Amino acid sequence: MSIEVGVWSAIVEASKPLALDPAAPIRITNVALGHELQDPNARTTLKLVYQTLVPVDDDEEAEESEAPLAATVLCSLTPGKIEHAILNIVLEEKEEYVLDIEGPNTLHLTGNYIDLKPTDMSPYGSEMDSDEEDFDLNEVSSDVEMDPNDIDDEARFEEIDEAIHGSPKNLKRARDSEAGEAGKTAKKQKGQDGKAAKPESEGAAGGEKKEKKEKKEKKKDVEGKTEKQAPKEREIAGGIKIKDTKIGTGPAVKKGANVSMRYIGKLNNASGKQFDQNTKGKPFSFRLGQGEVIKGWDEGIVGMQVGGERVLTIPSAMGYGKKGTDGIPGNSTLHFEVKLVSFK
Protein backbone atom coordinates (compact mmCIF):
# COMPACT_ATOMS: atom_id res chain seq x y z
CA MET A 1 0.00 0.00 0.00
CA SER A 2 1.23 3.51 -0.82
CA ILE A 3 -0.02 7.01 -0.04
CA GLU A 4 0.41 10.03 -2.32
CA VAL A 5 2.25 12.85 -0.57
CA GLY A 6 3.10 15.33 -3.36
CA VAL A 7 3.09 16.06 -7.11
CA TRP A 8 6.19 15.30 -9.20
CA SER A 9 6.94 16.29 -12.82
CA ALA A 10 9.87 16.35 -15.24
CA ILE A 11 10.70 17.27 -18.86
CA VAL A 12 12.87 15.09 -21.09
CA GLU A 13 14.25 16.66 -24.27
CA ALA A 14 15.82 15.02 -27.30
CA SER A 15 19.53 14.27 -26.88
CA LYS A 16 19.36 15.41 -23.22
CA PRO A 17 19.07 12.34 -20.95
CA LEU A 18 17.60 13.11 -17.52
CA ALA A 19 19.44 11.53 -14.54
CA LEU A 20 17.38 10.90 -11.42
CA ASP A 21 18.39 10.01 -7.86
CA PRO A 22 15.06 10.38 -5.99
CA ALA A 23 15.15 11.53 -2.37
CA ALA A 24 11.78 9.81 -1.93
CA PRO A 25 9.95 7.14 -3.96
CA ILE A 26 8.32 8.50 -7.14
CA ARG A 27 5.45 6.98 -9.10
CA ILE A 28 5.32 8.02 -12.78
CA THR A 29 1.69 8.00 -13.91
CA ASN A 30 1.56 9.91 -17.23
CA VAL A 31 3.76 10.78 -20.21
CA ALA A 32 2.62 13.32 -22.83
CA LEU A 33 3.95 15.21 -25.84
CA GLY A 34 4.70 18.90 -25.30
CA HIS A 35 2.53 21.64 -26.80
CA GLU A 36 5.35 22.54 -29.18
CA LEU A 37 6.43 19.77 -31.58
CA GLN A 38 9.81 19.69 -33.29
CA ASP A 39 8.50 17.17 -35.81
CA PRO A 40 4.68 16.68 -36.10
CA ASN A 41 5.11 13.37 -37.94
CA ALA A 42 7.87 11.65 -35.96
CA ARG A 43 7.47 9.02 -33.24
CA THR A 44 9.23 9.62 -29.93
CA THR A 45 10.13 6.77 -27.55
CA LEU A 46 10.79 7.10 -23.81
CA LYS A 47 13.37 4.71 -22.30
CA LEU A 48 14.33 3.99 -18.69
CA VAL A 49 17.87 2.93 -17.77
CA TYR A 50 18.23 1.35 -14.32
CA GLN A 51 20.41 -0.95 -12.23
CA THR A 52 19.22 -4.54 -11.98
CA LEU A 53 19.12 -6.50 -8.75
CA VAL A 54 22.07 -8.75 -7.99
CA PRO A 55 20.97 -12.30 -7.07
CA VAL A 56 22.39 -13.52 -3.75
CA ASP A 57 22.77 -17.20 -2.86
CA ASP A 58 21.41 -18.29 0.54
CA ASP A 59 24.86 -19.25 1.84
CA GLU A 60 26.89 -16.54 0.15
CA GLU A 61 27.18 -12.79 0.64
CA ALA A 62 26.75 -10.41 -2.28
CA GLU A 63 29.95 -9.27 -3.90
CA GLU A 64 30.76 -5.60 -3.54
CA SER A 65 30.27 -4.70 -7.19
CA GLU A 66 27.86 -2.50 -9.06
CA ALA A 67 24.73 -4.14 -10.45
CA PRO A 68 24.58 -4.30 -14.26
CA LEU A 69 22.51 -1.68 -16.08
CA ALA A 70 19.38 -2.50 -18.04
CA ALA A 71 17.14 -0.45 -20.32
CA THR A 72 13.46 -0.73 -21.09
CA VAL A 73 10.94 1.16 -23.22
CA LEU A 74 8.16 2.86 -21.24
CA CYS A 75 6.11 4.18 -24.17
CA SER A 76 6.17 5.50 -27.74
CA LEU A 77 4.15 8.57 -28.75
CA THR A 78 3.20 9.85 -32.22
CA PRO A 79 1.54 13.25 -32.82
CA GLY A 80 -2.06 12.96 -34.03
CA LYS A 81 -2.27 9.27 -33.06
CA ILE A 82 -1.06 8.59 -29.53
CA GLU A 83 -0.10 11.78 -27.69
CA HIS A 84 0.01 10.53 -24.09
CA ALA A 85 0.42 7.27 -22.17
CA ILE A 86 -0.67 6.21 -18.68
CA LEU A 87 2.00 4.48 -16.59
CA ASN A 88 2.29 3.02 -13.12
CA ILE A 89 5.98 2.64 -12.39
CA VAL A 90 7.77 3.43 -9.11
CA LEU A 91 11.31 4.77 -8.93
CA GLU A 92 12.76 3.91 -5.52
CA GLU A 93 14.60 6.39 -3.36
CA LYS A 94 18.41 6.52 -3.33
CA GLU A 95 18.60 4.55 -6.58
CA GLU A 96 20.04 5.94 -9.82
CA TYR A 97 17.93 6.12 -12.99
CA VAL A 98 18.26 7.72 -16.42
CA LEU A 99 15.31 8.76 -18.62
CA ASP A 100 16.21 9.08 -22.28
CA ILE A 101 14.23 9.54 -25.49
CA GLU A 102 14.70 8.48 -29.09
CA GLY A 103 13.02 10.92 -31.43
CA PRO A 104 12.81 14.69 -31.89
CA ASN A 105 9.90 15.70 -29.63
CA THR A 106 10.00 16.79 -25.98
CA LEU A 107 8.10 14.63 -23.45
CA HIS A 108 6.45 15.76 -20.21
CA LEU A 109 6.29 13.31 -17.30
CA THR A 110 3.87 13.58 -14.39
CA GLY A 111 3.48 11.59 -11.18
CA ASN A 112 3.63 11.89 -7.43
CA TYR A 113 5.91 11.31 -4.47
CA ILE A 114 4.66 8.40 -2.40
CA ASP A 115 4.95 7.04 1.12
CA LEU A 116 5.53 3.29 0.88
CA LYS A 117 4.40 1.17 3.84
CA PRO A 118 6.64 -1.69 5.09
CA THR A 119 6.02 -4.86 3.09
CA ASP A 120 5.67 -6.97 6.26
CA MET A 121 2.73 -4.83 7.41
CA SER A 122 1.11 -3.98 4.06
CA PRO A 123 -1.28 -3.69 2.34
CA TYR A 124 -3.26 -1.38 4.62
CA GLY A 125 -1.39 0.36 7.40
CA SER A 126 1.33 0.52 10.02
CA GLU A 127 1.72 0.03 13.74
CA MET A 128 3.04 3.54 14.48
CA ASP A 129 2.86 4.77 18.07
CA SER A 130 0.03 7.16 18.80
CA ASP A 131 -2.15 8.45 21.61
CA GLU A 132 -5.17 6.88 19.92
CA GLU A 133 -7.09 4.38 22.05
CA ASP A 134 -6.10 0.76 21.40
CA PHE A 135 -8.71 -1.46 19.83
CA ASP A 136 -8.67 -5.25 19.81
CA LEU A 137 -11.01 -6.82 17.28
CA ASN A 138 -10.34 -10.23 18.78
CA GLU A 139 -12.56 -9.17 21.68
CA VAL A 140 -15.65 -8.97 19.45
CA SER A 141 -18.15 -11.67 20.38
CA SER A 142 -21.77 -12.59 19.82
CA ASP A 143 -22.65 -10.30 22.75
CA VAL A 144 -21.17 -7.28 21.04
CA GLU A 145 -24.46 -5.38 20.74
CA MET A 146 -25.85 -6.34 24.16
CA ASP A 147 -25.89 -4.06 27.18
CA PRO A 148 -23.17 -5.37 29.53
CA ASN A 149 -25.49 -4.71 32.48
CA ASP A 150 -27.97 -7.23 31.08
CA ILE A 151 -25.47 -10.10 31.19
CA ASP A 152 -24.38 -11.94 34.31
CA ASP A 153 -21.09 -13.41 33.12
CA GLU A 154 -20.72 -15.73 36.07
CA ALA A 155 -24.25 -17.11 35.65
CA ARG A 156 -23.83 -17.36 31.88
CA PHE A 157 -20.73 -19.54 32.15
CA GLU A 158 -22.39 -21.69 34.82
CA GLU A 159 -25.30 -22.29 32.43
CA ILE A 160 -22.97 -23.34 29.64
CA ASP A 161 -21.19 -25.73 31.95
CA GLU A 162 -24.50 -27.16 33.12
CA ALA A 163 -25.75 -27.64 29.58
CA ILE A 164 -22.63 -29.60 28.65
CA HIS A 165 -21.81 -31.52 31.78
CA GLY A 166 -25.18 -31.70 33.59
CA SER A 167 -26.11 -30.14 36.94
CA PRO A 168 -23.33 -29.37 39.41
CA LYS A 169 -22.68 -32.19 41.83
CA ASN A 170 -23.78 -30.21 44.90
CA LEU A 171 -27.24 -29.71 43.35
CA LYS A 172 -27.93 -33.41 42.68
CA ARG A 173 -30.86 -34.99 44.46
CA ALA A 174 -29.98 -37.31 47.35
CA ARG A 175 -30.36 -41.02 46.75
CA ASP A 176 -33.48 -42.64 48.22
CA SER A 177 -31.45 -44.32 50.96
CA GLU A 178 -29.77 -41.02 51.82
CA ALA A 179 -33.14 -39.22 51.82
CA GLY A 180 -34.61 -41.89 54.08
CA GLU A 181 -31.80 -41.61 56.59
CA ALA A 182 -32.15 -37.82 56.55
CA GLY A 183 -35.87 -38.15 57.19
CA LYS A 184 -35.34 -40.50 60.10
CA THR A 185 -32.79 -38.16 61.61
CA ALA A 186 -35.13 -35.19 61.21
CA LYS A 187 -37.97 -37.08 62.94
CA LYS A 188 -35.71 -37.70 65.90
CA GLN A 189 -34.85 -34.00 66.01
CA LYS A 190 -37.33 -31.33 67.08
CA GLY A 191 -37.42 -27.67 66.31
CA GLN A 192 -37.89 -24.82 68.72
CA ASP A 193 -41.71 -25.11 68.36
CA GLY A 194 -41.58 -28.73 69.42
CA LYS A 195 -42.46 -30.06 65.95
CA ALA A 196 -40.26 -32.41 63.97
CA ALA A 197 -37.74 -30.63 61.74
CA LYS A 198 -38.03 -31.03 57.93
CA PRO A 199 -35.50 -33.30 56.25
CA GLU A 200 -32.52 -31.40 54.80
CA SER A 201 -33.09 -32.99 51.39
CA GLU A 202 -36.61 -31.45 51.21
CA GLY A 203 -35.30 -27.94 51.77
CA ALA A 204 -32.39 -28.52 49.34
CA ALA A 205 -34.75 -29.77 46.63
CA GLY A 206 -36.88 -26.62 46.92
CA GLY A 207 -33.84 -24.39 46.72
CA GLU A 208 -32.51 -26.40 43.78
CA LYS A 209 -35.75 -26.00 41.81
CA LYS A 210 -35.87 -22.28 42.47
CA GLU A 211 -32.24 -21.77 41.43
CA LYS A 212 -32.69 -23.83 38.26
CA LYS A 213 -35.81 -21.88 37.34
CA GLU A 214 -34.03 -18.54 37.80
CA LYS A 215 -31.09 -19.68 35.69
CA LYS A 216 -33.38 -21.04 32.97
CA GLU A 217 -35.28 -17.73 32.78
CA LYS A 218 -32.04 -15.75 32.70
CA LYS A 219 -30.60 -18.00 29.99
CA LYS A 220 -33.79 -17.70 27.94
CA ASP A 221 -33.68 -13.92 28.26
CA VAL A 222 -30.02 -13.73 27.14
CA GLU A 223 -30.57 -16.14 24.24
CA GLY A 224 -33.66 -14.21 23.14
CA LYS A 225 -31.74 -10.93 23.03
CA THR A 226 -28.82 -12.50 21.18
CA GLU A 227 -31.09 -14.10 18.58
CA LYS A 228 -33.05 -10.90 18.14
CA GLN A 229 -29.93 -8.78 17.69
CA ALA A 230 -27.88 -11.28 15.68
CA PRO A 231 -26.35 -9.43 12.70
CA LYS A 232 -27.51 -10.46 9.23
CA GLU A 233 -25.14 -10.81 6.27
CA ARG A 234 -25.99 -9.04 3.03
CA GLU A 235 -24.33 -8.94 -0.39
CA ILE A 236 -23.60 -5.82 -2.46
CA ALA A 237 -22.27 -5.21 -5.97
CA GLY A 238 -19.15 -7.14 -6.86
CA GLY A 239 -20.06 -10.08 -4.62
CA ILE A 240 -18.87 -8.33 -1.44
CA LYS A 241 -20.59 -9.71 1.67
CA ILE A 242 -21.23 -7.38 4.61
CA LYS A 243 -22.20 -8.15 8.22
CA ASP A 244 -22.57 -5.28 10.69
CA THR A 245 -21.61 -6.65 14.12
CA LYS A 246 -21.98 -3.25 15.79
CA ILE A 247 -23.81 -0.15 14.60
CA GLY A 248 -22.01 3.13 15.22
CA THR A 249 -23.41 6.59 15.82
CA GLY A 250 -23.78 9.75 13.77
CA PRO A 251 -23.92 10.19 9.97
CA ALA A 252 -22.98 7.40 7.55
CA VAL A 253 -19.67 7.73 5.75
CA LYS A 254 -19.74 8.41 1.99
CA LYS A 255 -17.22 8.15 -0.82
CA GLY A 256 -14.74 11.02 -0.87
CA ALA A 257 -14.37 11.19 2.92
CA ASN A 258 -11.04 10.74 4.71
CA VAL A 259 -11.56 7.71 6.95
CA SER A 260 -9.50 6.27 9.84
CA MET A 261 -9.84 2.52 10.34
CA ARG A 262 -8.87 -0.37 12.58
CA TYR A 263 -8.87 -3.82 10.98
CA ILE A 264 -7.72 -7.44 10.97
CA GLY A 265 -7.24 -9.17 7.60
CA LYS A 266 -7.32 -12.93 7.14
CA LEU A 267 -7.55 -15.42 4.28
CA ASN A 268 -11.09 -16.71 3.98
CA ASN A 269 -10.09 -20.36 3.67
CA ALA A 270 -9.46 -23.38 5.88
CA SER A 271 -6.16 -21.95 7.15
CA GLY A 272 -7.68 -18.60 8.15
CA LYS A 273 -4.15 -17.15 8.02
CA GLN A 274 -3.89 -13.54 9.24
CA PHE A 275 -1.89 -11.44 6.78
CA ASP A 276 -2.32 -7.92 8.16
CA GLN A 277 -3.76 -5.88 11.03
CA ASN A 278 -4.04 -2.43 12.56
CA THR A 279 -5.44 -2.74 16.09
CA LYS A 280 -3.36 -0.18 17.98
CA GLY A 281 -1.22 2.90 17.44
CA LYS A 282 -2.11 5.21 14.58
CA PRO A 283 -5.27 4.13 12.68
CA PHE A 284 -4.96 3.48 8.96
CA SER A 285 -6.28 6.48 6.99
CA PHE A 286 -7.23 6.92 3.35
CA ARG A 287 -9.75 8.66 1.10
CA LEU A 288 -12.73 6.39 0.51
CA GLY A 289 -13.70 5.56 -3.06
CA GLN A 290 -10.59 7.06 -4.69
CA GLY A 291 -8.75 3.83 -5.54
CA GLU A 292 -6.22 4.14 -2.72
CA VAL A 293 -7.23 0.71 -1.38
CA ILE A 294 -8.72 -2.45 -2.91
CA LYS A 295 -12.20 -2.19 -4.41
CA GLY A 296 -13.63 -4.37 -1.67
CA TRP A 297 -12.78 -1.66 0.88
CA ASP A 298 -13.86 1.26 -1.32
CA GLU A 299 -17.32 -0.32 -1.65
CA GLY A 300 -17.62 -2.29 1.60
CA ILE A 301 -16.97 0.55 4.06
CA VAL A 302 -19.53 2.95 2.58
CA GLY A 303 -22.43 3.50 4.99
CA MET A 304 -20.55 2.76 8.24
CA GLN A 305 -20.93 5.08 11.25
CA VAL A 306 -18.25 6.12 13.72
CA GLY A 307 -17.66 3.34 16.25
CA GLY A 308 -19.32 0.79 13.97
CA GLU A 309 -17.79 -2.64 13.39
CA ARG A 310 -18.25 -4.69 10.22
CA VAL A 311 -17.15 -8.00 8.76
CA LEU A 312 -16.27 -7.92 5.04
CA THR A 313 -15.93 -11.02 2.86
CA ILE A 314 -14.23 -9.86 -0.34
CA PRO A 315 -13.94 -12.04 -3.48
CA SER A 316 -10.60 -12.04 -5.30
CA ALA A 317 -11.93 -9.86 -8.15
CA MET A 318 -12.54 -7.06 -5.63
CA GLY A 319 -9.26 -7.77 -3.80
CA TYR A 320 -5.91 -8.75 -5.33
CA GLY A 321 -7.20 -10.77 -8.28
CA LYS A 322 -5.34 -13.58 -9.98
CA LYS A 323 -1.85 -12.31 -9.14
CA GLY A 324 -2.28 -11.76 -5.38
CA THR A 325 0.39 -9.89 -3.40
CA ASP A 326 2.85 -10.43 -0.54
CA GLY A 327 1.34 -13.00 1.83
CA ILE A 328 -1.85 -13.30 -0.24
CA PRO A 329 -2.02 -16.00 -2.95
CA GLY A 330 -3.78 -15.32 -6.25
CA ASN A 331 -7.56 -15.82 -6.43
CA SER A 332 -7.87 -15.44 -2.64
CA THR A 333 -11.14 -14.50 -0.96
CA LEU A 334 -10.37 -12.10 1.92
CA HIS A 335 -11.97 -11.79 5.37
CA PHE A 336 -11.73 -8.43 7.16
CA GLU A 337 -12.99 -7.30 10.55
CA VAL A 338 -13.05 -3.49 10.42
CA LYS A 339 -13.94 -0.60 12.73
CA LEU A 340 -14.55 3.00 11.68
CA VAL A 341 -12.64 5.19 14.15
CA SER A 342 -13.44 8.56 12.53
CA PHE A 343 -13.96 10.36 9.21
CA LYS A 344 -14.06 13.88 7.87
Taking only Cα atoms into account, the Rg of the chain, rounded to an integer number of angstroms, comes to: 34
* Residue 169: partners with Cβ closer than 8 Å, 6 or more residues away: none
Which pLDDT band, with edges at 50, 70 and 90, does 146 fall under? Answer: very low
Alpha carbon 249 to chain centroid, angstroms: 21
> Where in the chain are the domains?
2-116, 137-142+232-343, 148-229
> What are the start-end ranges of the E strands in the chain?
2-12, 18-20, 26-33, 44-51, 69-77, 84-91, 97-102, 107-116, 233-235, 241-246, 258-267, 274-278, 284-287, 309-314, 334-343
Decide whether 2-116 matches 137-142+232-343 in CATH topology: no
Q: Helix 176-188 crosses helix 200-229 at what angle (to 10 degrees)?
A: 130
Amino acid at 258: N
Q: What is the pLDDT of residue 95?
A: 86
Q: What is the pLDDT of residue 198?
A: 53
Tens digit of pLDDT for each residue in 263-297? 999 999 999 999 999 999 999 999 999 999 999 99
Q: What is the pLDDT of residue 269?
A: 92
Average pLDDT over residues 320-337: 93
CA atoms of 143 and 222, how far apart (whole Å): 9
Which pLDDT band, with edges at 50, 70 and 90, does 24 fall under? Answer: confident
Show the CA angle centred on residue 290, arms to residues 256 and 241, nearest 5°: 90
Q: What is the pLDDT of residue 43?
A: 94
pLDDT reading at 315 higher than 60: yes
Tens digit of pLDDT for each residue in 53-108? 755 554 444 444 566 889 999 999 999 999 999 999 899 887 889 999 999 999 99
CA atoms of 70 and 50, how far apart (whole Å): 5
Average pLDDT over residues 140-145: 43
Task: Provide the whole-model pTM.
Answer: 0.39
* Residue 175: partners with Cβ closer than 8 Å, 6 or more residues away: none
pLDDT reading at 133 higher than 80: no
pLDDT reading at 339 higher than 80: yes
pLDDT reading at 113 higher than 80: yes
138, 141, 147, 151: CA torsion to nearest 10: -120
Where do the H-state alpha helices sit in the chain?
A: 153-165, 176-188, 200-229, 295-300
Tens digit of pLDDT for each residue in 230-262? 679 999 999 999 999 999 999 999 999 999 999
Show the CA angle centred on residue 227, arms to residues 226 and 228, nearest 5°: 90
CA atoms of 218 and 151, how far apart (whole Å): 9
CA atoms of 231 and 331, how far apart (whole Å): 28
Residue 228 in 3-state DSSP?
A: helix
Q: What is the pLDDT of residue 334?
A: 96
What CATH number labels 2-116?
Answer: 2.60.120.340
Which pLDDT band, with edges at 50, 70 and 90, does 193 fall under? Answer: low
User: Active-site positions?
Assistant: 263, 275-276, 294, 320, 336
Average pLDDT over residues 21-40: 90
CA atoms of 194 and 184, how far apart (whole Å): 16
What CATH number labels 137-142+232-343?
Answer: 3.10.50.40
